[in-house]
Amino acid sequence: MNAKIKAAWSAARVSARRDLGIFFVMMILALVAALIAVPIILILTMLSDWAWGAVAVAFVVWIIFGETITATVRAYRGEKP
């Protein structure tokens, strides 16, 4: 019985160590995302009312033609997809 408990404890320890590693990686990625998002959010809150239309148009153009723009830049630089 004691061997089964030790085996279960060992498996739980390995699983916990892996989960803790994943948790720390996710925390680091969350900090990076926050560092990227906070300035963007601050800039967007300072936009004038008339500028929102230009931002919306740029976003829609990027959503529709983003792949084409990226492929064109990649072809101009001579990179292979």
Same domain (yes/no): 1, 40? yes
Same domain (yes/no): 39, 2? yes
Q: Which domain holds residue 68?
A: 47-81
Higher per-residue confidence, 79 vs 73: 73
- pLDDT of 14-29, one tens digit each? 788 888 888 999 999 9
- pLDDT of 27-40, one tens digit each? 999 999 999 999 98
Same domain (yes/no): 59, 76? yes
**45, 37 Cβ separation under 8 angstroms:** no
Q: What is the pLDDT of residue 13?
A: 82
Residue 51: is its pLDDT beyond 80? yes
Q: What is the pLDDT of residue 66?
A: 86
Task: Count up the domains in the chain and report the number.
Answer: 2
Same domain (yes/no): 60, 79? yes
- For residues 43, 45, 33, 72, the Cα torsion angle rounded to the nearest 10 degrees is -50
